[in-house]
């Protein structure tokens, strides 16, 4: 569609007021906007579909979504991973109707047309009797292919075959993402299949929050500071979560976002020493990153630059987003025995209509992480995050309310207001690239998220 005006006359351009930093609330529920963003945002972005360790063997496959389209993600010959549109070219039946499996042949249940894991058309069961040489070429009957890339084993795909490379898509944020996803010899693996559950909310309520909204922790997740281990781990009185709000935030012209949170307090508590006097090695020894044991530390040193290591041990990226709909969390969770347990998680918020999203939650660990630690990480993740997790039940309770509010006759005319946007700049000597701001968490990252959404909505018309 080349339309830049909605049916009531509103211009797409006016959905965002750049000078006052406002977003028209109707964007969180409007079906016309939703249809356009499926083409303009999800049709042109690199989308997270899963991790290659979900399909370790030849002919393994998983069924996932790219925006509003179902796709088959399969491992074929020579370890080639393909992403095929899950629509039969015959009469449009969904070819794979299960979530995952292993098969050398994907056969459509309607009339039996059959396809290879890489989407190649194989045969139709009654070709001789039925077709009499009237069939199109095999290439024309094969499944539509998305462009695929693997990054730290994560499977990303896009329908935009001419668009930017994955590297360009990550841009400056890659330097930071490499610290998380490319830091060990064998890389990450999934700890079981992802949890998947539906939330009655527009995907952008979750997508925007994933662009490093730190501020809400103080109110929505306030209980974290009042009960349990966070409270115990704090200074006397416990409840103050605000030290966790201080760090470095990285915004990106591509809408990616990172919150790098100061580890100093935790390291001080664990060692009793001033973190400023500790070397990189001493910090790694005191508090290795999530899923990394002391034995694995040499791997970090091989894979990461000195500057990346410095960031990892002092102000590591802990939460943030990959545009448009992914959240990552590489967090350090205080335990009752005074130790800290690191968790590694990824979420995708898959749009399922203007009022619905599917929350897909992967729990990950380094392949080399000892089994016992993996189990601890999995258990703690399930307790805190995802479907059953205490923390993210808070978040997924707010998103539906915002979506409903955006449908109200008055509500839809309201705006979202981005107030805390001001550049503080990078701390002195900060080695990483990007739009960097230090200090207390603010709205810069989320505002950049919206700006990129707006840019795609206009550019891909
Ligand atoms: Fe798939 Fe006919 S719709 S074989
Ligand atoms: Fe939250």
SS3 for 369-424 is CCHHHHHHHHHHHHHHCCCCCHHHHHHHHHHHHHHHHCCCCCHHHCEEECCCCCCC
CATH number for the domain harbouring residue 87: 2.102.10.10
Lowest average pLDDT, out of 220-229, 300-309, 374-383, goes to: 220-229
Residue 146's Cβ-count burial label (10 Å; 0-12, 13-18, 19+) is buried
Mean pLDDT of 409-417: 96
pLDDT at 87 over 80: yes
Neighbours of 425 (CB within 10 A): 11
**224 shares a domain with 106:** no
Ligand 1, closest atom to CA 91? 3
pLDDT at 437 over 60: yes
180-205 pLDDT tens trace:
999 999 999 999 999 999 999 999 99
18 in any annotated domain = no
Residue pair 396/359 in contact (Cβ under 8 Å)? The answer is yes
306-341 pLDDT tens trace:
999 999 999 999 999 999 999 999 999 988 888 999
**353 shares a domain with 328:** yes
Task: Quote the pLDDT of residue 133.
Answer: 74
Q: 38-55: string of b/e by CB count within 10 Å (b at 16+)?
A: ebbbbbbbbbbbbbbbbb
Q: Is the CB of 91 under 6 A from ligand 1?
A: yes
Nearest CA to ligand 1 atom 3: 91
**301 shares a domain with 440:** yes
| Site to substitute for ligand 1 among 85, 93, 115, 119, most atoms within 8 A of C-beta | 93
Residue 266 host element (H or E): helix 264-271
Give the chain's domain count.
Answer: 2
Mean pLDDT of 219-237: 72
CATH number for the domain harbouring residue 288: 3.90.380.10
10 in any annotated domain = no
Q: Is the CB of 87 under 6 A from ligand 1?
A: no
Gap from CA of 242 to ligand 2 centroid (Å):
14
Task: Quote the pLDDT of residue 258.
Answer: 98
Gap from CA of 69 to ligand 2 centroid (Å):
28
**187 shares a domain with 128:** no
Nearest CA to ligand 1 atom 4: 111
pLDDT at 235 over 70: no
Choosing from 159, 183, 213, the residue where a domain stops is 159
DSSP state for residue 234 in the 8-state scheme: S
**179 shares a domain with 122:** no
pLDDT at 231 over 70: no
C-alpha distances out from residue 324 to 54, 210, 320, 453, Å = 22, 9, 12, 8
* Residue 448 pLDDT level (bands cut at 50, 70, 90): very high
Task: Indicate the average pLDDT of the chain.
Answer: 94
Cα angle: 280, vertex 284, 285; to 5 degrees? 115
**213 shares a domain with 138:** no
**153 shares a domain with 182:** no
The dihedral through the CA atoms of 278, 280, 283, 285 has a sign that is negative
**179 shares a domain with 147:** no
* Residue 131 pLDDT level (bands cut at 50, 70, 90): confident
**361 shares a domain with 252:** yes
227 in any annotated domain = yes
Q: How far apart are CA 95 and CA 91, in angstroms?
A: 11
Task: Quote the pLDDT of residue 350.
Answer: 98
**239 shares a domain with 354:** yes
Residue pair 173/434 in contact (Cβ under 8 Å)? The answer is yes
Choosing from 159, 192, 207, the residue where a domain stops is 159
* Residue 229 pLDDT level (bands cut at 50, 70, 90): low
pLDDT at 56 over 70: yes
**443 shares a domain with 419:** yes
Task: Quote the pLDDT of residue 126.
Answer: 80
ipTM score of the complex?
A: 0.98
Beta strands in 91-160 (DSSP E): 100-102, 106-107, 114-115, 121-123, 147-151, 154-158
Task: Quote the pLDDT of residue 289.
Answer: 97
Task: Quote the pLDDT of residue 228.
Answer: 67
**235 shares a domain with 129:** no
Task: Quote the pLDDT of residue 310.
Answer: 97
Q: How far apart are CA 289 and CA 263, in angstroms?
A: 11
* Residue 239 pLDDT level (bands cut at 50, 70, 90): low
Nearest CA to ligand 1 atom 2: 111
332 in any annotated domain = yes
Task: Quote the pLDDT of residue 461.
Answer: 79
Residue numbers of the domain that contains 337:
171-459
């Amino acid at each position: 569609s080349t339309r830049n005006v909605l049916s009531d006359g509103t211009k797409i351009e006016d959905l965002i007021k750049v000078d006052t930093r406002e977003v028209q609330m109707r964007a969180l529920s409007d079906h016309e906007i939703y249809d356009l963003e499926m083409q303009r945002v999800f049709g042109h972005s690199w989308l997270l579909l899963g991790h290659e360790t979900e399909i370790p063997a030849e002919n393994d496959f998983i069924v996932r979504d790219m925006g509003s389209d179902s796709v088959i993600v399969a491992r074929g010959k020579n370890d080639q991973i393909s992403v095929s549109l899950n629509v039969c070219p015959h009469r449009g039946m969904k070819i794979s109707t299960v979530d995952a499996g292993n098969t050398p042949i994907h056969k459509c249940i309607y009339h039996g047309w059959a396809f290879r894991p890489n989407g190649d058309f194989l045969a139709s069961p009654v070709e001789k009797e039925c077709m009499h040489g009237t069939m199109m070429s095999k290439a024309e009957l094969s499944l539509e292919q998305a462009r695929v890339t693997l990054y730290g084993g994560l499977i990303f795909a896009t329908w935009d075959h001419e668009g930017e490379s994955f590297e360009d898509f990550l841009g400056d944020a890659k330097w930071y993402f490499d610290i998380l996803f490319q830091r060990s010899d064998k890389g990450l693996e999934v700890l079981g299949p992802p949890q998947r559950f539906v939330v009655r909310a527009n995907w952008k309520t979750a997508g925007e929050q994933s662009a490093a909204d730190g501020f809400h922790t103080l109110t929505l997740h306030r209980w974290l500071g009042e009960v349990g281990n966070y409270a115990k781990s704090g200074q006397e009185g416990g409840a103050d979560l605000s030290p966790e709000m201080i760090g470095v935030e990285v915004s990106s012209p591509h809408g990616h976002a990172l919150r790098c949170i100061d580890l100093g307090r935790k390291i001080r508590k664990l060692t009793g020493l001033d973190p400023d006097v500790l070397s990189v090695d001493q910090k790694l020894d005191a508090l290795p990153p999530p899923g990394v044991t002391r034995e694995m530390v040499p791997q970090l040193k091989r894979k990461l630059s000195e500057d990346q290591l410095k960031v990892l041990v002092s102000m590591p990226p802990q939460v943030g987003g990959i545009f448009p709909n992914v959240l990552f969390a590489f967090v350090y969770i205080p335990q009752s025995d005074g130790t800290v347990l690191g968790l590694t998680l990824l979420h995708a918020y898959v749009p399922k209509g203007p009022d619905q999203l599917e929350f897909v939650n992967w729990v990950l660990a380094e392949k080399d992480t000892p089994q016992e630690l993996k189990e601890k990480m999995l258990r703690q993740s399930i307790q805190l995050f995802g479907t059953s997790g205490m923390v993210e039940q808070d978040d997924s309770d707010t998103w539906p309310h915002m979506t409903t509010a955006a449908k109200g006759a008055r509500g839809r005319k309201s705006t979202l207001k981005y107030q805390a946007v001001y550049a503080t700049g990078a701390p002195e000597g900060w080695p990483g690239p990007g739009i960097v701001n230090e200090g207390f968490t603010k709205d810069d990252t989320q505002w950049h998220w919206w700006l990129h959404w707006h840019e795609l909505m206009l550019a891909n018309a």
